[in-house]
Amino acid sequence: MPETLPPSRLIDPVRLQPLLGEARGRFDVDAIAECGSTNTLLLDRAAQGAPSGSVIVVDRQTAGRGSRGRSWLASPEASLTFSVLWRFSGGLESLAGLSLAAGVAVVHGLESCGAQGVGLKWPNDILHAEGKLGGILVELHSDDASALAVVGIGLNLRLPELRGSGEGFALRPVALDQAMSSFPERHALFAALLVEMARVFDRFEASGFAALREQWQARNAWQDKPVKLLRGNQIETEGICRGADADGALLVQTPNGIERCISGDLSLRSKS
């Protein structure tokens, strides 16, 4: 049976470090009880010179930001919510596809802890059993010589009690305990995710998303399936999902050929 989570699950950074293995010393983790948004707080610290590998993990997030400006809540009994600051030597153009690369890292970390059937949906959703397990929000900044990314991750560990019928979700929420026969200790899970993020970000900086594309394609939940792209409530494109190209753009096969989609205003949905 999955463990019963107590009201507070604040991460202990000292306990975490030995679990990081090869990545020990590469992350400076700050665990806080509550904040509005880990991404916002870490972006503020980045502006003050916080180093690459700075991490904020929060017990309770009250104003998390999702894609297209959506807001959401995170509570300690049901979620793992954190943001990672990573500095890259290239400019912003070198970071195309970073949100997809971060998805690869998250899936690798979850699989290393025993999760099964976890997939990815372009550009920033983590799926299981056709439901949404979590999400990724990447925010980028640059100067003349380098760029930085704040990568926010939110994962459902347990399904929270939903108010009403749950209508309005583009994808029904699912939780990690549904994808695992034995639930890992919280520090071990968090460490596994950070280790994989360090590995993937190193590879991404060296070779871009192209080096990770095959791994993303293998976990693309809607690979070679009928999809539609919405702008607002209007269908803009329909076709067969062919994954992503070397720059992270979505590829959709239509009667007119392969269309390359990069707009963050577009929302990908299954056509079935």
| Share of residues in the chain with pLDDT > 90 (%) | 76
Is residue 66 scored above 90 in pLDDT? no
Q: Does residue 121 form part of some domain?
A: yes
Please check whether residue 145 lies inside any domain of the structure.
yes
Position 243 pLDDT exceeds 50: yes
Prediction pTM value: 0.91
Shared domain check, 238 and 138: no
Tell me: do 57 and 138 sit in the same domain. yes
Task: Tell me if 241 sits within 8 A of 220, measured CB to CB.
Answer: yes
Confidence band for 203, pLDDT divided at 50, 70 and 90? very high
Is 6 part of any domain? no
pLDDT for res 144: 67
Q: How many domains does the chain have?
A: 2
pLDDT (0 to 100) of residue 74: 54
Q: Assess whether 83 and 172 both reside in one domain.
A: yes
pLDDT band at 168 (very low <50, low <70, confident <90, very high): low
1 occurs within a structural domain: no
Task: State the pLDDT confidence band at 217, using cuts at 50, 70 and 90.
Answer: very high
Lowest mean pLDDT among 69-73, 84-88, 255-259, 267-271: 69-73
Statement to judge: residues 248 and 113 lie in one domain: no
Instruction: Give the CATH number for residue 241.
Output: 2.30.30.100
| Domain enclosing residue 254, as ranges | 226-270
Specify if 5 maps to a domain: no
